[in-house]
Structure 1
Amino acid sequence: MPEAWSEKRERQYQHIKDGQLDKGVSEDEAEEIAARTVNKSRAQEGEAEEASRSSLEDKSPSERGGERSHTGAQGRTKEQLYQDARRQDVDGRSSMTKEELRDAVEDR
């Protein structure tokens, strides 16, 4: 268990990981999904020292209920695609539509 996680977060992590394993997801992917979900919840509840803007402004994992869950680029919001484009230094990203951002991010 990461040092910053509480017992509650560890139980949440284990529950999510077990659920993913039951669905047939690999061990590594299940751990990644569980950790990302717990870390996002921690960020939204003010438990994390650092948090991305998308973690703070997006729906919580429980509100989202699997929407956009592991569907690749087509499942991400325009803001998430924009942030990816920004990290990849895509030219003209500020005037792109969601579809254009998705194409630009996927092309890199």
Structure 2
Amino acid sequence: MPGKSGSKRERQYEHIKDSAESRGASTGRAEELAARTVNKRRAQAGETKSSKSGGGSSPSGDRKSSGSGGPTRDELYAEARKRGIEGRSSMNKEQLAKALGR
């Protein structure tokens, strides 16, 4: 864990790491999972510098595509599903948008 982390985050890190190891993950993988999870939670709580620049999801969990402000692939997929567009499951975001006439 980074040096400036609080004791709460240290406990979270150790708990997640131990849990992953008990599920059979290697030590390296368990450490990676724990670090990623704790860093994500720190960012969501506004405890990092990068959290203010918009990296990551919003607290409500809804994610938008980067830059354009347009719909996500999942949103396009849901609309294609409603419209009954064939082959939608294998389409990427751009293909879904084209099939929907966007």
TM-based fold match above 0.5 = yes
Q: CA deviation at 1:78?
A: 8.0
2:2 aligned with 1:11, yes or no?
Answer: no
Higher helix share: 1
TM-score by structure 1 length? 0.53
Structure 1 counterpart of 2:31, which letter? Answer: E
Structure 1 residue 55: deviation in Å? 2.4
Aligned-pair Cα RMSD in Å: 3.3
Contact 1:17–1:31, Cα closer than 8 Å, also in 2: yes
Q: 1:15-94 residue pairs with structure 2 within 5 A?
A: 15-51=15-51, 53=54, 55-57=56-58
Structure with higher Rg: it is: 2
Tell me, in whole angstroms, the C-alpha distance in 1 between the residues paired with 2:14 and 2:47: 19
Structure 2 unaligned regions, length at least 5 = 78-88, 94-102
1:95 and 1:14 map into 2 onto residues whose CA distance is 34
CA contact (8 A) 1:78 1:101 kept: no
- 4+ aligned runs moved over 4 Å, structure 1: 94-99
Residue 29 of structure 1 deviates from its aligned partner by 0.9
- TM-score, normalization by structure 2: 0.56
Partner SS state of residue 5, structure 2: coil
Residue 92 of structure 2 is matched in structure 1 by: 101
How far apart are 1:13 and its partner, in Å? Answer: 0.2
Structure 1: gaps of 5 or more residues: 61-76, 87-93, 103-108
Aligned residues: 77
What do residues 45-77 of structure 1 show as CA deviations (whole Å, max 9, x unaligned)?
1111113746232667xxxxxxxxxxxxxxxx9
Q: What's the offset of the Cα at 1:8?
A: 0.7
- Distance of 1:6 and 1:47 partners within structure 2: 10
